[in-house]
Amino acid sequence: PDEAVAAAQQQIQAVAGGLTSIQAAVQKAKQQERSAEQRIGDAVLALGSKDYVRAANLLNEVIEKYPNHPTALPDAMNMLGEVYFRSKQFLSARRVFKQIVARGGEGRFAQYQAGSLGRLVDIALRLKELKELDDIFASIAKVPSGAASSALSYARGKGLFARKDFAGAKGALAQVDAQSEYSHQARYIGALIAMKEATPPQKPLAEGETPPPVPPSRYAATIDMFLKVTQLQPDTVEHRRVIDMSWLAMVIVWGLCQLPTVTSTT
């Protein structure tokens, strides 16, 4: 028994002697722990390199560790929704964006309302769940006027176009400011609406029957609208994509109405 007691005392002394170094290691680890802002910065880099898994993990850590942070929490949630959206995890993205919209009454989430609602429209269109648009439009109507109104008008116009409510879509798109980042997209969808409205109803053709030629005048206004989009500034990746799509649309329309080929110098 005496030997056992002595051995136990030696073990206790050894553990007690190591406590100081353990506490120092814990303190050092706490000092080296990255802040919320640093974690978000790391997530931005991961998102830029399309490392969606790492970006999502970093952002979820911020959301878990800093639920009361005045800026880090909304920043992390907004970016997490975007990470899920870009990685095509649409259900997860919708969950996050709906949480942001639901907390719109909190000042720290106000700046992300328009973007979240726009993404919810995008998700509804990609999942072909157009019934979801009713609730989204109701949320858009609750956002104070002037708060990113162009972004909200574009989102609503895009949704109405998908529902084939062309009159409503034109009314919403007309409210997009010409100087906003959504001007190119709004004008492109406006040209698509003009093309849809100019296209006559298709009737079944008998076997071997060819469709009648389309008068060039039918799509003249549509082509002019697409042409005006191509003349806008290609100042962002998204705007360049819209301009390219407008050129492609004109080629298709020219083919429909058998117009002569036009060579672009752009």
Tell me which amino acid residue 247 is: W
Distances from the Cα of 95 to the Cαs of 99, 158, 165, 195, in angstroms? 6, 21, 27, 35
pTM of the model: 0.78
- Give percent above pLDDT 70 in the chain: 86
Give the highest mean pLDDT range of 1-10, 19-28, 98-107: 98-107
Question: What is the CA angle 80-140-159, rounded to 5?
Answer: 85
**pLDDT beyond 60 at 36:** yes
**pLDDT beyond 90 at 144:** no
- Give percent above pLDDT 90 in the chain: 63
Q: Encode pLDDT of 45-55 as tens digits.
A: 999 999 999 99
pLDDT on residue 32? 61
Band of pLDDT at residue 33, cut at 50, 70 and 90: confident
Closest CA to 98 of 72, 76, 77: 77
pLDDT averaged over the chain? 87
Closest CA to 91 of 120, 66, 70: 120
Span 19-30, mean pLDDT? Answer: 64
Q: Encode pLDDT of 205-262 as tens digits.
A: 677 766 666 777 788 889 899 999 999 999 999 999 999 999 999 888 877 665 444 4
**pLDDT beyond 60 at 266:** no
Closest CA to 77 of 58, 50, 96, 93: 96
**pLDDT beyond 80 at 197:** yes
Sign of the Cα torsion 42, 46, 47, 48 reads: positive
